[in-house]
Structure 1
Amino acid sequence: MAEDPGQTSQVRLAFRIGYIGSSFFGSQYQPDQRTVEGEIVAACMRAGIIQNRNEARVALSGRTDRGVHARCQILALSTSVPDRAIRALNGQLPPDIWVTAWAFVPDSFSPRHDVTSRTYRYYFSRPPQNVPAMRDAAAEFVGKHNFQCFARIEPGKSPIRTIDGIAIILDENGCRLEVTAQSFLWHMVRCIAASLLQISEGTLTIEELRRYLSGVCTNKIKPAPPDGLILWDVHTDLDWHRIPVSGLKAGRIRKQSEELHLLGTVYSLLLTD
């Protein structure tokens, strides 16, 4: 374990967290809705880790929409009891949020701005019709583009973003889009996924896609459903220390996975003759 800076002054900690997004109204704190940040703040206050979210400067590395999941999201907070935070946070969190690692960080650390890039994966619910066409089209996204047609643009936000890497991967888990960039716009990955699915189905051409990437469109691309989207990784140079996920919490997640798999099988059988 890295040297503890002390228990009397405020210490800034980063945690690597994961969550199942299905039961959350997004990650960002909303006082009247169940959110990832809201559950984390409540857990920290129950454990005496923080007194309130503003003084602790609780922050996440990115905002995920309602129903979107995370394998690697970064949480940062300031606390006078870092040992307690490291030891107790996982046990206070609900079953659909977990902590996998921690690190000491400078007091100025921002999980939103002090990261090098983010990787998302989008898993398509069914095998696309034309994976080679999707791969050809995906290459068009690499580099700097105007994503006005592929995102919900908030006031004051630039629609210009740079895609560092993108791939369509087909393996035993199905077909997925994997995309890496320093930052993303609201709904951007889901809109990219939807456009590539349209390419596969022949309802969108490469020429139309290129025009959209220049920021010219009559109608924006509608985002794909959130269920298949995972914030897969947030890339940093932090010195992470692993926190094992308890057997009870891991067991609950596996049990829920099995139940959902069974439910999908039953739904499909209801349509048979």
Structure 2
Amino acid sequence: MEPYKNWSREELIARLQHLDPHHDRPRPATQPQGKPFDFNAYPKRKIALKFTYNGIHYGGMEYQRDPALPTVEGVLFDALVHTRLVDRAGGLEGCGWQRCGRTDKGVSGGGQVVSLWVRSTLGSKATSEEDARATEPEPTSSADTSEDGPGLEGDFGLMDDFDEPSTNNSKPAEPASAEVEFPYVFGLNHILPPTIRVLAWSPVSDDFSARFSCRWRHYKYFFSPRGLDVAAMSDAAARLVGERDFRNLCKIDASKQITVFTRRILSASIDRTDGELCVFNLRGNAFLYNMVRHIMAILFLVGAGLEKPAIMTALLNADPANPLPPFREGEDPPPLVTSKPDYQIADPLPLMLWDCGYDDGVLDWRTDRASTKTGESTKSPLPGMLCDFERATITAALDEHFLKAAEAHHKPPKQYFPLGAPGVEPLPPGAMMNIPLGGGLVKRTGTYVPLLQRKRMPTPDEVNERYRLGRGAKKLGRKAPPAPAAADDVDE
């Protein structure tokens, strides 16, 4: 048969009509037009949504007007619009949108939380066929041109916010009503791509904020322990706990004019997973921009034997007014490091915002109505997620066997890390090293310059001043200069 690429447009259309048994079916001359959906005709309530997402598919968490890649917030907001839970015309501000944390491009979320005002069925009765349909997930259609915007077009076809001091909130009393609430979990998962799954929702008080009410954030970073001294990495990680100055372990965003870099880390540990990986668990009340990936880069250098665990204490000893003592007895006092050495941060792929903590009694996580027979949700996202996990496991097994097939004909590369460890071959002069960056990435180099001997980056004060006098001068001239950001005003 002649290749389709050589066919004319008319020939292709004729071929499609021949293959479509319904192309001759008569259609109505005009499509019925539904009346515009009136959000004001329905009550609203404030809820929190907990959801997961695979960050490798997205250009970050934060909503963007014209993203190069779809963003998590953009896709989730479009799903809320498509199910007529929020009004597109009001945007994120119109529904009081607050996120617990902003994650960068490639970073995933296991327990991300957003709070917002949504349409509710409580306190109202569906009085017409159209109103009844409004409480059910709408079918996907590229021809959807209703008032609430397009359907699964654009981003749907493909497939850190700032930390603040927490506030006190209490869970609102649930209305004494026998009415069934909108199936938020199923309704959204019916529309969302499989890379974003809503897990549960909770009624919240009017003053609840996923951002301001959060007490702590828990990040996980997964990595292979191959060629790494995990005990040394655990020693370095333990030095993070407490009130610390992280100016040397973050990216400085001059537009925020951050002046306070102290954060409280509640726990930091390196643990084994059920499989062959390790995970760096870090829990704190707030985080700076790219803070976890900076920390992980240093832990990799320590694990490879290129730096001692005490380097972490030195990088945290950044404030001349509050010098740190030796971390443990027998160690020398750490050197003062007032500006960050130049180093490459870890890859974003293995990083996950795992959980967000709130006061007891503030949230009441729930799913959709359970089956009276099984007691379990009849619309759980777990079956699809288990299928995705099974496929990923099979893919990993295939990759492992591809590696074994190659090793039958080629010698594995020599492993020099961790340097000086028993049984590890000494590094010969001029040998190339693969310094780990996480996510299977390495930095290949023939020489290693110790961190404290490297070129130093500008101090935060210098970065802020340069912005005020340079790129930010026009912006600052058009509006009042921003006040320096509070201690908890940025995140990972």
Distance 2:398 2:257 in 1: 43
Distance 2:196 2:235 in 1: 37
Give the superposition deviation at 1:194. 1.5
Change (3 A) 1:165 1:73: same
Give the superposition deviation at 1:225. 0.8
- Counterpart of 2:229 (choices 123, 130, 140) is 130
User: Contact conserved, 1:125 with 1:228, CA < 8 A, in 2?
Assistant: no
1:56 and 2:95 matched: yes
Give the superposition deviation at 1:9. 3.5
- Counterpart of 1:36 (choices 60, 72, 76) is 72
User: Contact conserved, 2:236 with 2:310, CA < 8 A, in 1?
Assistant: no
Query: What residue number does 2:60 align with?
Result: 26
Change (3 A) 1:29 1:260: farther
Query: What residue number does 2:118 align with?
Result: 79
Distance 1:187 1:268 in 2: 33
1:164 and 2:266 matched: yes
Give the helix-richer structure, 1 or 2: 1
Distance 2:342 2:207 in 1: 38
User: Contact conserved, 1:49 with 1:85, CA < 8 A, in 2?
Assistant: no
Distance 2:261 2:406 in 1: 43
- Counterpart of 1:92 (choices 191, 202, 218) is 191
In the alignment, residue 148 of structure 1 is paired with which amino acid?
A: R
Alpha-carbon displacement from aligned partner over 1:40-72 (angstroms, at most 9, x marks no partner):
010011111101322112232101111111110
Matched position secondary structure for 2:50 = strand
In the alignment, residue 235 of structure 1 is paired with which amino acid?
A: G
Q: Which has the larger radius of gyration?
A: 2
- Could you tell me the TM-score, scaled by structure 2's length? 0.51
TM-align CA RMSD: 2.1
In the alignment, residue 100 of structure 1 is paired with which amino acid?
A: L
1:176 and 2:275 matched: no
Number of residue pairs the alignment of both structures matches: 267
Query: What residue number does 1:224 align with?
Result: 346
Instruction: List alignment gaps of at least 5 residues for structure 2.
Output: 1-40, 122-180, 319-336, 369-376, 410-492
Query: What residue number does 2:385 align with?
Result: 250
User: Contact conserved, 2:197 with 2:381, CA < 8 A, in 1?
Assistant: no
Q: Report percent identity of matched pairs.
A: 28
The more displaced of 251-260 and 114-123 is 251-260
Give the strand-richer structure, 1 or 2: 1
Shift >4 Å, 4+ stretches: none
Structure having greater relative contact order (Cα 8 Å, sep ≥ 6): 1
Distance 1:54 1:263 in 2: 46
Distance 1:241 1:103 in 2: 6
In the alignment, residue 271 of structure 2 is paired with which amino acid?
A: I
Give the superposition deviation at 1:192. 1.3
1:206 and 2:309 matched: yes
- Could you tell me the TM-score, scaled by structure 1's length? 0.89
User: Contact conserved, 1:150 with 1:220, CA < 8 A, in 2?
Assistant: no
